[in-house]
Amino acid sequence: MKTTMDPPITLGLPLDEPIPPDDCGVCQALAHQRAEATERGDLSRVSDCNVEIRNHHQPTRRMKGR
């Protein structure tokens, strides 16, 4: 039986907002959606847009066995 507490969780600093490339319409649209979400105070959508912008130009990973 455990009688001690777990150590505290350590969180890193939040990432800066990604800057979308000027030549990518998808990223520019996401940046526009992010700005609108910021105005509405919808921080969840802001975070979603940031993730999508960051990942948009990343190479896709292949699943093992495929």
Q: How buried is residue 27: exposed, middle or buried, by Cβ count under 10 Å (0-12/13-18/19+)?
A: buried
The answer to whether the pTM exceeds 0.75 is no
47-64: average pLDDT: 84
| 66 pLDDT above the threshold of 60 | no
For the chain, the average pLDDT equals: 89
Q: What is the per-residue DSSP string for the chain?
A: ---SPPPPP--PPPPPPPPPPTT-HHHHHHHHHHHHHHHHT-HHHHHHHHHHHHHHTSPPPPPTT-
